Structure 1
Amino acid sequence: MQFLRAGLLSIGLLALLPADAWAQWSVSSPNGSISISVNRSSAGALSYSVTQGGAVVIESSALGISTSIGDFSSGVSFVGRSDTVINERYSLPGRKKASYVNNANEALLRFSKGGQELQLVMRAYNDGIAYRYRVPGSGSLTIYGESSAFNLPDAATGHAQSYVSNYEGYYTARSSFITGNFGMPVLATAGSRWMLLAESDIGGSYHTAQLAGGSGNNLRFVWPTAASVNASRQFNSPWRLAVIGSLANIVESTLVENLSAPSQLADTSWIRPGRAAWSWRAGGNQSDYNTHVAFIDSAASMGWEYYLVDDGWQESWVPSLVSHANTKNVGIWLWVNDENVKTEAQMRTLFSRWSGWGVRGIKVDFFDDDHQATMQLYEKLAQVAAEYRLLVNFHGCTKPNGLGRKWPHVLSQEGVFGAEQGELSASHNLSLIFTRNAIGPMDYTPGAYSNSGGQTTWAHQTALLVLFSSYVQHYSDHGAMYHNSIAREFLRALPSTWDDTRLLEGNPSQYATLARRRGDDWYVGTIVSGTGRTAAIPLSFLTTGTSYTAHIYTDGTSDNDIAYQVQSVTSNSVLNLPLRANGGAAIRITAQNVPVVPSAIYKIINRQSGKALVIQNASRSDTAEAIQWDYLDSTTNDEWRLVDVGGGYYNLVNRNSGRTLDVSGASTTAGAHLIQYTSRGSANQEWQLVDVDGGYVQLVSRSSGMVADVEDGATTNGANVIQWPWNGGANQQWQLVQVGSIP
């Protein structure tokens, strides 16, 4: 971390002003676009305002705290100022970006009253502002309350959730913020500028705050009750922050993490984000051992890293269950009620036992409280769990406030009205992208196909797995719903942590399209609330000059139907996807990196049967059918050349006949037979090689978008090769093995 200290400034003229004079201090963001200014009135009361591009976005708002050593809401005198440049980079195991950049200009203002000092720290970022209070010294300290506020413009509107202690409510559209108590974050807009109001770095030193509406959209910080805060000197309040700018700034922001205390863990190598199967919402009997075995096996077949055993598990069989899961390379998480881990002694007793069994993580539930003591409990749980190398997911809890940076093994938090509540609307899902999920990981448990209740389409549910970020992403449906889905391979490939996150388009009341990158692969999710639309998605975020394959899962002919198609795309492409009402689409975009040697001769082997693609009876005639047969290594009938025809497509030319693999009759119907035919430059003779995994590819017809498929999954010689919609089956996957080259 780099902190460039400018030193204590006398502030020249200000130091000569009388104590009752008005004064102002400002600090601007590194790019100069955002400024926060602090004013001291003639009565010694502090306030601040914020501008972006010269326009006021937060009007004059009160500052100050009341403590056992003095009330600093008025009567303060200026002492001095020091400035610091914050310039830091860091990374996290669970993340929405590969590298986090914490770059701001900071001003520390010192004030005094009655011989006691208050420090106000304010930061200006390129995408927002933040401030906090410090009380230096030694000894105990009691905080009675704050004067702090966000005074929004009179015309401000937005989305906010009425405060509930577990944050399980709706973010609804607001025409003003005059009445009501709101749980943070609060999304507000005035004109073309958006703001997300939140807090960070609470630790165990404070209550979590609410924002109380008031006249003129003046949102005041208030606590859950009138209870005071018990602290010690060298006290730091939480950061009060506002992300400011476009909706992309809101969704992509890492301001909450940047303002948090840095990681307390020297070794994070054991922290592994991942995907988790979860049987509770699917109606799985949590006390039944065999239920869990089935879900573990399902998770393993999907390539997912974890399985969560929820409320009702039996201590007698958990060690055996963990042993079974280990054979499947699936880690076990256990649910626990927070009442059973209130003390450090309880934590150590249970965590030691569970860690000894080989449990990988814990889901701690039912906090339902925002007071200081509960915030301290979160901290202690995170600390002790780390000692036993247990990953953590908090449920029935507060919203994120940077805890995942300080304790990076805390991979998710609920604090959301999620899928466990049942059928949720598209409008609710949409609002979460711009509010709750913008401040940290969110254990919504998406992917509810069988329980969506007609409120959203299945493609919408698939898109949520991209749109909603949780570093342990729980899939909430039956394993069979994923195994039998046309989106199975998408769900197998989808990561839970990201190297880049970009909002491509959006409106909190209408639609959103988000792109996330992991390695070289991009994933795009788009949803609509209400009336259907055609999403026009520009792919300009892709690397220029590289060809990609887009696997597109979008709304089909009914709400419970997902349509699949494959397109060759570049950074110049625009995907135009029709979405049903409350529908969506999910896309995986991969670089076309299947190596094809122009002069090579290949055998093409089916993954399921191990047999080769050949022409029946070694015919050299047009319309002879393609079948599978044992590779003989003594005939050219089971050997093929790939001829590049441009756009990422190839003719597959049989070496024996010189004819091209062809969809019979140029059919676009599932089940049409593949044949050979004289090359004629038609789309039904052009094939795209699309990576699957393990060195296997799909052979995708340009004319139909379907793939080469061994009929009925047969493993016998002579089985027909047909075209069929991609379903992820091994009978639709082929390996190209070079067996020679053309002289």
Structure 2
Amino acid sequence: MKNIAIKGLLCILLASCCPPENSKPSTTIESPDESISVHTGIKKDSTAYYLVYKNNQVVIDTSVLGLERKDENFASKLSMQSFSDISKIEDTYTLTHGKQSNITYTANQKTITLVNEHEQQLQIVFSVSNDGLGFKYVFPESSEDVKYITDEKTTFNFPENTKAWLQPLAKAKTGWEHTNPSYEEHYKKGISVDTPSDIGEGWIYPALFNTAENMWAAITETHLEANYAGSHLKYSKEDKALKLTFPQPEEKMTDGALNPESKLPWETPWRVIALGTLETVTNSTLGTDLAKPAITEDTDYIKPGLASWSWAILKDDSITYDITKEFIDYAADMNWGYCLIDVNWDTRIGDDGIKELVAYGKEKNVQLILWYNSAGDWNTTPYEPKDRFTTAEKREAEFKKLSDWGIGGVKIDFFGGDGQSYMEYYHQILTSAAKHHILVNFHGTTLPRGWQRTYPNLMTMEAIKGFEFISFGQPDADEAPSHCAMLPYTRNLFDPMDFTPMALDTIPGIHRRTTAAFELALPTLFLSGIQHIAETPNGMAKMPEYVKNYLRDIPTDWDQSKYLAGYPGKDAIIARRKGETWFITGINGENKVKEMTIDLSFIPSKNGYMITDGTSTKFEQTEISNTETTITMQPYGGFVIKI
């Protein structure tokens, strides 16, 4: 009785243990450390809801749950059938690349079973860990016929005065050769949650929110399978909250599915919310914790690393036999394992030339990656080769050929949206490529949504306004410093990102705003299984030998990552460990000098070095130790530390 009285008093004082006043049956799921509390149930109007607290503070206020199927309504006239007991979840897994190699996910999980007016079941599974939560919908019954989801009612109702960092979704079939959306817009920073997108199509994942002082949240989705569409967020005036939204009508392959359709049983992707301090959110691995496990343990052929790439700065005319040979030599000299050959290699170099370059690269311990057009009539891009992956027969034939040649990987470009048919296409390509031990990089693409765990051969995906845009025009170059300082907290938070970083020398026709040390920091600040480097052999030849030596020993498969300091769009300092070696990198996204103090005492080794922007030269190198250190970052500048 005493415990009941105390719990009731806490509900009154903290409003952290009580469902909405007009609710029917409800239940609570807490994180293992009890810092996060999720309440869910049925309101008196027979709709489902949830709300989320962190340290007794509202982070997500009362929000909507439910789905509408073409044949049944699971959004209203709902009743509670049962709550499961709490299940203790502990899942240990390994990633071939990313912010952490060996990960243990611990959470409390509960399933809520609802029934609609026709006694059809909908389950909602909540999984709550110390750094956030995920939930998904499950149709547990079986069907012989295909079911169609027409709308998902999920909302995220943030408290008043919440600020958001969001990337707009482009209008489908717009842009160069009708290639949008490709997740390639600049972020809006620190805006109100109800701010409409200038484009009018809402916002993509991950979406970042600051709900109160030192309280942050990041929303994404994961475990997106071939039988579901990718979603995004859009502010709903009716719900007065951000609502999960399905793709635009144009975001589908020819005669393919747009919105989700499948036979039962059927599960949606996990809707993921990382919660806590900015450090907690930045360090979180929830995007892969709830992803589908790897389809195979056959990963010995997967070698993360860096790649040389001629097209980044030299563009189409660089796709020749002789220039590619030069870039293979460049990769070998820099101890990088790959060389990417971009568009029109099939006509500009030819199959016989590629096979000769494969043999030459093998002598140098450098594997080739070949570019492809995703094909189909969903875009009008002229680049070749195309139409090589659109059917199962074509995929098998092309990947077998590449495997026989000794090709390491493919870069496949120009996808057309988030409709279910595209999601199915991604899965088909990744499955076939894995069978033939081919690594994959998708460009002009959607967000990976945890696929790098499911398909260890998925090394990276673009889905960002990356270096190529900086090379295209001055406005994007002007935006680059703050844009790059956004990415560790948003796009690159959970998933690999092929930004194609680092121009240390010059970019033709562009006044680069970032300093050389800022650029030097990007390959270790950004996460990508294969990091394609923009700098050319001629540009690298101008750099000090200690800079080249630093770049000869950069991992992309990190054992541990640790947020040290920063703020979205302003600056970022991240530490990453491979084995016993730590790399600490920082960038300044603002046009002013900054002094940042970081404590390096967590590093066992005592001595290392730091490379910063020089006063009279491009770079300066100094010795450094594992103590509290104050670093001066120049306007749009940066630094790297290796201990």
For 2:98 and 2:123, the matched residues in 1 are separated by 32
Structure 1 counterpart of 2:401: 353
Q: d(CA) in 2 for partners of 1:81 and 1:187?
A: 31
1:585 maps onto 2:634 in alignment: no
Give the drift of 1:575: 2.6
Structure 2, unmatched stretches of 5+, are 1-21, 171-180, 250-257, 376-386, 471-476
Superposed counterparts of 1:122-133, under 5 Å: 122-133=126-137
> In the superposition, relative to structure 1, how do residues 41 and 466 fare at CA in structure 2: closer, same or farther (>3 Å)?
same
Match of 1:264 among 288, 295, 301: 295
Partner of 2:243 in structure 1? 220
- The structure whose residues are more often strand, as a share, is 1
Runs of 4+ in 1 over 6 A off after TM superposition: none
Moved more, 141-150 or 66-75: 66-75
Which residue, 594, 604, 617 being the options, matches 1:533?
Answer: 594
1:183 equivalent in structure 2: 204
Counterpart for residue 170 of structure 1: 186
* Partner Cα distance (1:330, 1:162) in 2: 38
Q: Which residue number corresponds to residue 33 of structure 2?
A: 31
Partner of 1:159: 165
Separation (CA, whole Å) in 1 of partners of 2:90 and 2:71: 34
Look up the match of 1:462. 520
Identify which of 359, 375, 392 aligns with 1:323.
359
Displacement of 1:217: 5.9
Give the stretch that moved more between structures: 337-346 or 408-417: 337-346
* C-alpha contact 2:500 2:533 (8 A) present in aligned 1: yes
TM-score normalised per structure 1: 0.74
Deviation (angstroms), 1:557: 2.1
Amino acid at match of 2:481: A
From 240, 259, 282, the equivalent of 1:251 is: 282
* Highest RCO, 1 vs 2 (Cα 8 Å, sep ≥ 6): 2
> What per-residue deviation string (whole Å, max 9, x for no partner) do you get for residues 185-223 of structure 1?
111011120001111111112111110013486100111
- Secondary structure of 1:251's partner? helix
Letter of the structure 2 residue corresponding to residue 187 of structure 1: L
Q: Which stretches in structure 1 are left out of the alignment for 5+ residues?
A: 1-19, 590-743
Q: Using the TM superposition, give the Cα deviation of residue 576 of structure 1 relative to its aligned residue in structure 2, in angstroms.
A: 2.4
Report the Cα distance in structure 2 between the residues aligned to 1:221 and 1:556, rounded to whole angstroms: 47
**Aligned counterpart, 2:51:** 49
Q: For 1:143 and 1:89, how far apart are their aligned partners in 2?
A: 33
- Give, in whole Å, the separation in 2 of the partners of 1:350 and 1:454: 39
TM-score by length of 2: 0.85
Match of 1:206 among 213, 218, 228: 228
CA 1:453–1:25 in 2, change beyond 3 Å: closer, same or farther? same
Find the residue that maps to 2:532 and give its secondary structure.
strand
2:97 to 85, 91, 94: 94
Deviation string 1:559-612 (CA, Å, 9 cap, x unpaired) is x81111223x13xx12322221110001111xxxxxxxxxxxxxxxxxxxxxxx
198, 205, 215: which one pairs with 1:193? 215
* Contact 2:247 2:259 (8 Å CA) reproduced: no
Residue of structure 2 in register with 1:378 after alignment: 426
Among candidates 443, 448, 452, match of residue 395 of structure 1: 443
Cα displacement (A) at 1:286: 4.2
Aligned to 1:120: 124
Aligned residue in 1 for 2:5: none
**Cα separation, partners in 2 of 1:117 and 1:479, compared to 1, 3 Å:** same
3-state SS, counterpart of residue 417 of structure 1: coil
SS in 2 for 1:265: coil
CA offset digits 1:665-711 (Å, max 9, x no partner): xxxxxxxxxxxxxxxxxxxxxxxxxxxxxxxxxxxxxxxxxxxxxxx
SS state of the match for residue 316, structure 1?
helix
Distance in 2, Cα, partners of 1:217 & 1:304: 50
Instruction: Tell me how far 1:184 sits from its aligned partner.
Output: 1.1
Equivalent positions of 1:589-738 (< 5 A) are: 589=643
Query: In 2, are the aligned partners of 1:177 and 1:214 still within 8 Å (CA)?
Result: no
Q: Does 1:439 align with 2:494?
A: yes
Q: Structure 2: how far apart are the matches of 1:448 and 1:21?
A: 57
Q: Using the alignment, how far apart are the partners of 2:423 and 2:351 within structure 1?
A: 29
Aligned-partner Cα distance in 2 for 1:454–1:483: 19
Checking the alignment, whether the CA contact within 8 Å between 1:482 and 1:491 is kept in structure 2 is no
- Check whether the contact 1:411–1:472 (CA below 8 A) recurs between aligned residues: yes
Which amino acid is 1:470 matched to?
S
| Contact map agreement 1:554 1:577 (CA 8 A) in 2 | no
Match of 1:474 in 2: 532
Distance 1:444 1:454 in 2: 16
**Cα drift, residue 69 of structure 1:** 3.7
Once residues 21 and 304 of structure 1 are traced to their aligned partners in structure 2, the CA distance between those partners, rounded to angstroms, is 59
Aligned length: 563
2:577 aligned residue: 517
